[in-house]
Structure 1
Amino acid sequence: MVSSPHEAMHQILQEDPAMFVRSFRKLGIDFPEPVAVSLMPTDLTELRPVERRVDTLLRFDTARGDGYLLAVESQGRPSTEKPSAWAYYLAFVYAKYRIPPVLVVTTQDKHTAHWAERPIDIGPPQWPALTVRPLVLGPHNVPMITDPEEAAQDIPLATLSAITHGKNPDIAAILKALSSALKTIDLDTAMIFSEFTELGLEGIPAADIWRHLVAVDLSFFRSQTAQNIRAEARKEGREEGREEGREEGREEGEAKGEAKAVLRVLDARGIAVPDEARATISGCSDTYVLDTWLDRAITATSIDQVLGDTTSA
């Protein structure tokens, strides 16, 4: 079954195929700039009942006429079956289109990246008949983009950075830079890359950080997606509060849930909450005041701006 991170990585290259050229130029491999990019059929099945399908196949046409095919594969872990499949893909598309192919492998895992970038010799060691040399994009060579201005200059690359470094201890800074950068572009494009990021981080803790950032930093979009995420966090907090507060009454339980929602937003945004302020929020029983604090937490830059001169009942 194809995973969400698997889908997201090669869809980013579909959204901005030229990012491939920019990425590898930073690694010292100078591919010619494309003047046209075409999405090619990904079905590489022959008449025999053996289905083989590459993740993404793109055709790059250049001004010099030396175009090439880009076969993109997302890889979660090493696989003994992949080398022969990759060799098949490259041989098949070259035989079919007579255009030089390039294999790009994307991954979130450093071990998988180092495994994938090793040349694959097919044939006896005395004389390999075919050598497959994948180009790999992973946490070992994709830059960590933690500066919002740098992220805004190349949002597709910043998105790939966030996904490939999803397991890095500094992922919060990477995601914060990306969320800030998305504010600089139009709503539709921002939501596309926001969804790519969420898909690419699915199943790891970084996904929770990203969901909170989208709910907070992208709330100004007033998009249904962002509003739904925020409403879901609020609902989850209230449900947790009601669960804990069964014996204390429904209203107090909802207050506990609202307090949890306020603290979760503040924590997700990286706003320091001293113990005294945390106790104030957790101990508040006035849902109106808590709603006010939750609204303020979306744009505040300090805990003082959240609590302000509001007093709880």
Structure 2
Amino acid sequence: MPTHLHETLIEMFRVRPVLAAEILDGQLHVPVPEFTEARLSPSDLTDVIPTEYRADAVVTLNDRHKTVLAVVIEVQLRKDDRKLHSWPAYVATLYARLHCPVALLVLCPVQSVADWSAAPIVMGPPGSVVTPVSLGPAQVPIVTDADSARRHPELTILSALAHGTRPDPQPIFGAMLHAFDTIDLDHARLYYELVLSGLPAAAQRLLEDFMTTTGHQYRSDFAKGFFNSGKDEGRAEGRAEGRAEALLTVLAARGLAVSDEHRALIAGCADDAQLDTWLRRAVGAEKIQELGDEFAG
């Protein structure tokens, strides 16, 4: 079942498909052809293959009316040898469908998994090979510059997730807030929750302390709302509101209808543990009633 981490990383590409080209061409040094548009494409790769195959996401880079590169995007949280059989099928099916080069981009929050997933997949003689391109923490840049953060907001979020445990993470956290200048409020809250939940407890405390004590005047609506909550009670409400917004964003990304009654239930919940439970269930739910008995009506 997909996790909150898995679903949020894929959401970055849903919101901004050109991120696939930026990662390939920038961080992983994979040449990308000239293109004028990056577009999210259907991720159902079944076609004539009897087994159903569905990638996490597919992005196509297009030059006018021609697709010049397709990118299969997979988020891999742990080693899974079954993927060594399904990934070549993803690439081959997309190659047959679009008649263009195909790259397989694997995002791995754990470096050992990134190293594993980067190994060439040899399918047989005389040289049938699919080679994934993997992005692990070691391949994610450390972003501390405000201008870079605004130009590449998703990479900045990944930087905070990958490097937020460094001895002095404040420049990294500051860059993350600058990145929020260019992200809508709902996704800023979603990405903040992603970083916060992905850090160990000590780094979480450093991030929360930074968010509530820094004197820098960040411009984003997200940051202003956080800094204006001067009391502990206000900060707690802000965190609950962020989790509620993250939950609604995940539900929308999965195409689940949310009634006004259910929206009010989520927005009115101040229990962080309950919101986290709903959020974990939401990333794998096929209908909103799977979140809990509260949504059965």
TM range (shorter): 0.5 to 0.7
2:12 is aligned to 12
Report the number of matched residues. Answer: 232
Give the Å deviation of 1:50: 3.5
Secondary structure of the corresponding residue to residue 78 of structure 1: coil
Give the Å deviation of 1:131: 0.8
Secondary structure of the corresponding residue to residue 67 of structure 1: strand
1:12 maps to a residue whose letter is M
1:143 is aligned to 141
Structure 1 residues 234-277: Cα deviation after superposition (integer angstroms, max 9, x where no partner) = 27889xxxxxxxxxxxxxxxxxxxxxxxxxxxxxxxxxxxxxxx
2:59 maps to a residue whose letter is L
Distance (Å, rounded) in 1 between the aligned partners of 2:209 and 2:223: 15
Q: Which moved more, 1:167-176 or 1:79-88?
A: 167-176
2:288 is aligned to none
Give the Å deviation of 1:54: 0.4
Distance (Å, rounded) in 2 between the aligned partners of 1:191 and 1:219: 17
Give the Å deviation of 1:154: 2.0
1:282 is aligned to none
- Judge conservation of contact 1:121–1:132 (CA < 8 Å) in 2: yes
2:46 is aligned to 45
2:60 is aligned to 59
Residues 223 and 141 of structure 1, relative CA distance in 2, 3 Å threshold? closer
2:175 is aligned to 177
Which has the higher Rg, Structure 1 or Structure 2? 1
Secondary structure of the corresponding residue to residue 108 of structure 1: coil
> What does 1:233-272 correspond to in 2, within 5 Å?
233-234=232-233
Relative contact order, CA 8 A, sep 6+: which one is greater? 2
> What does 1:1-313 correspond to in 2, within 5 Å?
1-26=1-26, 27-45=28-46, 50-62=51-63, 65=66, 67-123=68-124, 127-128=125-126, 130-165=128-163, 171-183=169-181, 185=182, 189=184, 191-199=186-194, 202-205=197-200, 206=203, 209-210=206-207, 226=225, 233-234=232-233
2:41 maps to a residue whose letter is M
2:152 maps to a residue whose letter is D
- Judge conservation of contact 1:77–1:112 (CA < 8 Å) in 2: yes
Distance (Å, rounded) in 2 between the aligned partners of 1:52 and 1:94: 14
- Judge conservation of contact 2:218–2:224 (CA < 8 Å) in 1: no
Residues 45 and 22 of structure 1, relative CA distance in 2, 3 Å threshold? closer
1:251 is aligned to none
Which consecutive unaligned segments of at least 5 residues does structure 1 have? 239-313
Secondary structure of the corresponding residue to residue 68 of structure 1: strand
| TM-score (norm: length of structure 1) | 0.61
Structure 1 residues 96-142: Cα deviation after superposition (integer angstroms, max 9, x where no partner) = 2222211100111111111111111112xxx2552111111121112
What's the Cα RMSD here? Answer: 3.6
Give the Å deviation of 1:83: 0.9
Give the Å deviation of 1:202: 2.8
- Judge conservation of contact 1:201–1:207 (CA < 8 Å) in 2: yes
Distance (Å, rounded) in 1 between the aligned partners of 2:206 and 2:228: 12
Secondary structure of the corresponding residue to residue 184 of structure 2: helix
Residues 77 and 233 of structure 1, relative CA distance in 2, 3 Å threshold? farther
Distance (Å, rounded) in 2 between the aligned partners of 1:194 and 1:6: 16
Residues 94 and 179 of structure 1, relative CA distance in 2, 3 Å threshold? same
Distance (Å, rounded) in 1 between the aligned partners of 2:199 and 2:102: 33
Residues 189 and 83 of structure 1, relative CA distance in 2, 3 Å threshold? same
- Judge conservation of contact 1:59–1:69 (CA < 8 Å) in 2: yes
Give the Å deviation of 1:5: 1.3
1:259 is aligned to none
Distance (Å, rounded) in 2 between the aligned partners of 1:207 and 1:59: 36
